[in-house]
Structure 1
Amino acid sequence: MKKDLNGKLTRGTQRTLDAFLGAMTSLLAEKPLIGISVNELCERAGYPRATFYNYFEDRDDLVVYCWTALAGPVSAAELASVESKLRVDAALDAMADAMEAHTDLLRAMLEHNPPEGPLFSSLHTVIRDEARELMRTCVEQDRCDLPAELVADQYANTLMLVLDWAYLRGHTLTREQLHTYAHTLLGGVE
Structure 2
Amino acid sequence: MKYDLSKKPTRGAQRTLESFSKTMFNLLAKKSFENISVNEICEISNFPRATFYNYFDDKYDLLNYCWHLLSSQIYLNEQPNETSEKSLATLFDRTYYLLSSHNELLSAILKNNPLDSSLISNFSAYLKRVIQEVFHEYLHFDNNEVPIELVVDHFSNTVMLILEAIFLKRQPITLEEAHKYLNFLLGHLVEGSQ
Which TM class, normalised by the smaller chain length?
A: over 0.9
Give the structure 2 partner of residue 67 of structure 1.
67
Paired with 1:172 and 1:133, the residues of 2 have a C-alpha distance of 26
Gaps of 5+ in 1: none
Paired with 2:83 and 2:68, the residues of 1 have a C-alpha distance of 26
Give the structure 2 partner of residue 127 of structure 1.
127
Q: Once the 2 structures are TM-superposed, how far is the Cα of residue 78 of structure 1 from its aligned partner?
A: 3.3
Pairwise mapping of residues 1-190 of structure 1 onto structure 2 (< 5 A)?
1-187=1-187
Paired with 2:154 and 2:29, the residues of 1 have a C-alpha distance of 32
Paired with 1:6 and 1:97, the residues of 2 have a C-alpha distance of 25
**2:88–2:139 Cα contact (<8 Å) kept:** no
The DSSP-based 3-state class of the residue aligned with 1:82 is coil
More moved, 175-184 vs 127-136: 175-184
Deviations 1:144-165 (A, max 9, x none): 5111112111111111111100
Q: Once the 2 structures are TM-superposed, how far is the Cα of residue 15 of structure 1 from its aligned partner?
A: 0.5
Paired with 1:188 and 1:47, the residues of 2 have a C-alpha distance of 53
Q: Once the 2 structures are TM-superposed, how far is the Cα of residue 188 of structure 1 from its aligned partner?
A: 8.3
Paired with 2:164 and 2:22, the residues of 1 have a C-alpha distance of 23
How well do the aligned residues superpose, as a CA RMSD in angstroms?
1.7
The residue type equivalent to 2:26 in the other structure is: S
The DSSP-based 3-state class of the residue aligned with 1:115 is coil
Runs of 4+ in 1 over 6 A off after TM superposition: none
The residue type equivalent to 1:126 in the other structure is: Y
Deviations 1:105-152 (A, max 9, x none): 111111101122111111111110111011111222423511111211
Paired with 1:106 and 1:156, the residues of 2 have a C-alpha distance of 20
Paired with 2:31 and 2:21, the residues of 1 have a C-alpha distance of 15
Paired with 2:75 and 2:24, the residues of 1 have a C-alpha distance of 26
TM-score (norm 2): 0.91
- The size of the alignment, in residue pairs, is 190
Q: Once the 2 structures are TM-superposed, how far is the Cα of residue 81 of structure 1 from its aligned partner?
A: 2.4
Paired with 1:185 and 1:79, the residues of 2 have a C-alpha distance of 25
Paired with 2:58 and 2:140, the residues of 1 have a C-alpha distance of 38
Paired with 1:71 and 1:138, the residues of 2 have a C-alpha distance of 17
Question: % of aligned pairs identical?
Answer: 38
Relative contact order, CA 8 A, sep 6+: which one is greater?
2
The DSSP-based 3-state class of the residue aligned with 1:77 is coil
**1:76–1:133 Cα contact (<8 Å) kept:** no
Paired with 2:114 and 2:79, the residues of 1 have a C-alpha distance of 32
Q: Once the 2 structures are TM-superposed, how far is the Cα of residue 189 of structure 1 from its aligned partner?
A: 7.1
